[in-house]
Structures are given as C-alpha cells and as structure tokens.
Amino acid sequence: MTLSKYFGLVDVQARMLLKADSAKYKLGILWWFLEPLLWVTVFYIVFNMILDSGRRSGDFIVFLATGKFAFIWFSKTVIQASGSIVSSEGLIGKIDTPKSLFPMSAIQQSLYRQSTVYIVLVFFLMLGGIMPDKAWVWMVPVLVVFYLMIVACGLIGACLVCILRDFQKIIPLFMTFLMFTSGLFWDPHQIASPAKTELLFTVNPLAFILDAHRQVLLYNTAPDLFHLVTIGLGSVVLVCLALLYMRRYSQYLALRVLT
C-alpha cells in the first residue's frame, strides 16, 4: 500500500467513524460541543455552587477545564485505539492490510473531534476573562507533541491488546491512575518540594503536557522547550518502533486476533 493510499484510507475511515457515530444519536454532531459543555456545567455545579470557596473558585474551574479537556483527548483516544484492532476482527480475517490502519483511524477520528473541544475551551476561557494572547502560539508545538504522544500510546496499546486481551481491562484502569497522578485536580507547582514536581514531570509526560496547556493558555508563558522536545522525540521513536513491529509481525497479530 502506498503512503498516499494509506493516509487516504485513514482519513476516509476516520470520517466514516465520525459519520457513523453521529448518525447513532438524535443530536448527532451537536454532541461534539455538548459533551465538553456538560463537563464545564458539572465543574460549575460542584466547585462554584457546592464547594463555593470564595473568589478563587472561578479560576479553579478554568484551571480544571483546561486540564480536563486535554486529558479527555488522551484517555479516550488511547482506549479507543487500543481496542481498534481486535474489534476489526471481521476485516482482519478477510484482507491483509497494515494493522496500524485501525488505531490510526481511531486516532484521526478523535483528532477531528477534539478540534471542536478546543474551540469550546477557547470560548470558555474568554468567558472567564482570559483573552487570546500572542503567547498562545506556543500551543502549536504543545499540541503537536501531545498528538505524537497520543499516537505512540495508541499504537502500543493496540499491539498489547492484540497480544493479550487482558490489556483491554488494564488500560482503562491505568487511565484512571493517570487522571489522579497528572495534576488534573491539583497544581503540580504547589507540591511542597520543587524536586518532586520536577520528578513528576520527568516520570509522567502527561503531567508535563497538561501543565504546558495551563502555562500557555492561562499564564501566557512558554513551556519548558527542552522538556517538550524530549517528549516529542521520545514519542517519534516509539511511534517508529510500534509501526515497525506492526509491519514485521502483521501476520502474527492477525493470528492473535483470529484465534
């Protein structure tokens, strides 16, 4: 399969997945906007109305929403991409196609979807009094690196689930673990020892990326570029290794799926 055909197919598959998904629900495509809006509503109810902590609660909702919207992209995509090869069992038994096609289509699908989530986020930030700034240009490298990280994790997850189905149980659990350890509800910079914060960012790239979102969008500061590039390069290496593995062991993966 040539590269242009491969990417053409990934694109069409992703669009079809979106189309099928929105055809399933009455509100269809509106759900792309409704889902993030509902999250914001939930945060508002919990943190502004129930846990009203005075003047700072508004800031906290903005802080939370920024992290949550980014985190949803990661967790949803990786879970979906991980299950994508085994759920295409019917197709895999019939054609010899690159196995990476399935996770890549799932990743592409959520990329298209996530664009609306970021639009909602920008409106929400503006509603909270945070206006777009020149520094927001830093979001471009942050998002590129984040995307590469998602591709790497999605491809590796898909291989793991193929080899051992039990990973389909483990991966969502791991996402919950990540939700608590990536500074979604708390600010990593408020950890008492800066060395610990540094350690967290090193060990958990997702915590660094979520923090980078906030640094750029909320405080108009550039992220730690060296750290960002390191994560980007690491992801590229993992993506290449995963793709090579899927290419080399395509028939083995098919056998694992079919039997």
Partner 1 sequence: MADTDRKVMLELDDVSISFHTSKGTFDRGLHQVLRSVSFKLYENETLGIIGRNGVGKTTMLRIMAGILAPSSGRVIKHPGKAASLLTIGLGHKGDLSGRDNALLSAMLQGASKKEALGYLEDIKAFSELGDSFEEPVKTYSSGMKSRLGFTTALLTHVDVLLVDEILSVGDAEFRVKAEQAMKQRLSGEQTVVFVSHSDKQVSELCSRVIWIDKGRIAAAGDPDEVLEKYQESIRAAKRKKKA
Applying CB under 8 A, the residues found at the interface with partner 1 are 1, 4-5, 8-9, 12-13, 16, 19-21, 23-24, 88, 90-97, 251-252, 254-255, 258-259
CB 80 within 8 A of CB 106: yes
Instruction: Provide, rounded to whole angstroms, the least separation between the CB of residue 104 and partner 1.
Output: 14
**DSSP designation for 29:** G
- Tokens coding 137: 């240009």
d(Cα 30, Cα 99) in Å, to the nearest integer? 32
Give, for 83, the enclosing helix (H) or strand (E): helix 57-84
Q: Which is nearer to partner 1, 44 or 252 (CB)?
A: 252
Q: Which is nearer to partner 1, 84 or 215 (CB)?
A: 84
Q: Which is nearer to partner 1, 60 or 249 (CB)?
A: 249
Instruction: Provide, rounded to whole angstroms, the least separation between the CB of residue 22 and partner 1.
Output: 9
CB contact set of 188 (below 8 Å; sequence gap of 6+): 197, 200, 201, 207, 211
Nearest in space to 7 (alpha carbons), one of 87, 146, 15: 15
Instruction: Provide, rounded to whole angstroms, the least separation between the CB of residue 251 and partner 1.
Output: 4
d(Cα 223, Cα 92) in Å, to the nearest integer? 42
d(Cα 73, Cα 110) in Å, to the nearest integer? 7
Instruction: Provide, rounded to whole angstroms, the least separation between the CB of residue 103 and partner 1.
Output: 16
d(Cα 121, Cα 210) in Å, to the nearest integer? 14
Instruction: Provide, rounded to whole angstroms, the least separation between the CB of residue 243 and partner 1.
Output: 18
Residue keyed to tokens 């942050």:
142
Instruction: Provide, rounded to whole angstroms, the least separation between the CB of residue 244 and partner 1.
Output: 17
Instruction: Provide, rounded to whole angstroms, the least separation between the CB of residue 1 and partner 1.
Output: 7
Q: Which is nearer to partner 1, 173 or 258 (CB)?
A: 258
- Tokens coding 157: 């997850």
The residue type of 181 is T
Q: Which is nearer to partner 1, 80 or 235 (CB)?
A: 80
Q: Which is nearer to partner 1, 93 or 132 (CB)?
A: 93
Residue keyed to tokens 């060296």:
226
Q: Which is nearer to partner 1, 21 or 35 (CB)?
A: 21
